[in-house]
């Protein structure tokens, strides 16, 4: 009798654990989300939405009450960056590479998909070029088909190795088309050109934001950009590595400031 009871208790123990897990998942707390009426609630696609900058934009648009679809191929993006939204009725996460076409219905597209840190985008320059050219073409095609507005996350690197400081929008840049950074610089330049061609020829509503060197939470520890490198080296008590003569100039911004 005693053994029977013991066996029974042993058998139900894993079940109890499962029930506890299920209960926890039902009472999962999401960050606070505004209620928007049907009329104000937009269906928004964020490519690269699980990335460093993209995931902060995902947070902002989710908390504003929109329906957000994140598309990411997880090359530099991470599921962990958006896991706090998984299961929310306004949120969807799709593992997809923008180099392949995508057919969904949306009102707005924030096109951020691309590695952004120099070591990451130089790791596979052809892939970086495909992402920024074919990927942007696919997203503009989608915008045209569904009548969505598209915002392209461009970069200060469209100015190349600038001869003017600080750079304003009238400056056309100083770019080496065959230099080590060309895959990203020229990829983003042609992406901008495509946006304006789709606007002029097809009437697609576009926006282009040239994002400068960004730092903040969810940056990879081994991102390779200067801020995370210096922090890591400082924490490890190592000397900070300044490349070249250290006379470079950069404009920095905090990641949350990029999303307001």
User: Which residues in this chain contact ligand UDX in the complex, by CB under 6 A?
Assistant: 116-118, 155-157, 211-213, 225-226, 229, 241-243, 248, 250
Min CB(170)–ligand UDX separation in Å: 19
CA distance 109 to 118: 25
Residue with tokens 């329906």: 67
Nearer Cβ to ligand UDX (47/155): 155
Return the number of the residue (187 or 204) whose C-beta is nearest ligand UDX: 187
What does residue 44 show for φ and ψ, rounded to 5 degrees? -120, 130
Smallest gap, in angstroms, from Cβ of residue 145 to ligand UDX? 29
The strand pairing partners of 93, in sequence order, are: 70
CB of 256 to ligand UDX, least distance (A): 16
CA distances from 73 to 78, 86, 104, 122, 144 (A): 9, 16, 17, 17, 23
Shortest Å, Cβ 218 to ligand UDX? 15
Query: Cα(149)–Cα(126) distance, rounded to whole angstroms?
Result: 28
Active site (annotated) includes residue 184: yes
Compute the C-alpha angle 251/253/258, nearest 5°: 130
Catalytic residue among 110, 121, 159, 184: 184
* Closer residue to ligand UDX, CB minimum distance, 197 or 219: 219
What Cα–Cα distance (Å) separates residue 174 from each residue in 93, 189, 226, 252?
A: 38, 12, 22, 20
Is the Cβ of residue 86 or residue 164 nearer to ligand UDX in the bound state? 164
CB distance 153 to 115 below 8 Å: no
Separation CA 93–CA 87 (nearest Å): 10
> Using an 8 Å Cβ cutoff, are 193 and 187 in contact?
no
Q: Is residue 115 classed exposed, middle or buried when 0-12, 13-18 and 19+ CB atoms within 10 A define those classes?
A: buried
Closest to ligand UDX by CB, 68 vs 115, is: 115
Nearest residue (CB) to ligand UDX, 58 versus 160: 160
Q: Report the C-alpha gap between 209 and 196 in whole angstroms.
A: 13
Terminal-residue alpha carbon distance, the chain = 67
What minimum distance in Å lies between the beta carbon of 244 and ligand UDX? Answer: 6
Supply the residues annotated as catalytic. 184
């Amino acid at each position: 009798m005693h053994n029977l009871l013991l066996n029974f208790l042993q058998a139900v123990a894993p079940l109890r654990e499962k029930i506890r897990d299920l209960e926890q998942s039902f009472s999962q707390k999401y960050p606070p989300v505004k209620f928007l009426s049907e009329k104000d609630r937009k269906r928004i696609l964020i490519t690269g939405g699980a990335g460093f900058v993209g995931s902060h934009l995902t947070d902002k648009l989710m908390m504003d009450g929109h329906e957000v679809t994140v598309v990411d191929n997880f090359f530099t993006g991470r599921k962990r960056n958006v896991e706090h939204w998984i299961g929310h009725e306004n949120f969807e996460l799709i593992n997809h590479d923008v180099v392949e076409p995508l057919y969904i219905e949306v009102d707005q597209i924030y096109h951020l998909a691309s590695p952004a840190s120099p070591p990451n985008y130089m790791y596979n320059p052809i892939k970086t070029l495909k992402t920024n050219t074919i990927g942007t073409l696919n997203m503009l095609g989608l915008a045209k088909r569904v009548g969505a507005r598209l915002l392209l996350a461009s970069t200060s690197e469209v100015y190349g190795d600038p001869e003017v400081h600080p750079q304003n929008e009238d400056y056309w840049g100083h770019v080496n088309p065959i230099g080590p950074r060309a895959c990203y610089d020229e990829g983003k330049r042609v992406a901008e050109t495509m946006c304006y061609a789709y606007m002029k020829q097809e009437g697609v509503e576009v926006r282009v934001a040239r994002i400068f060197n960004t730092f903040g939470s969810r940056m990879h520890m081994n991102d390779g950009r200067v801020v995370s490198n210096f922090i890591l080296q400082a924490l490890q008590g190592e000397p900070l590595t300044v490349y070249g003569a250290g006379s470079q100039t950069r404009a920095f911004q905090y990641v949350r400031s990029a999303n307001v």
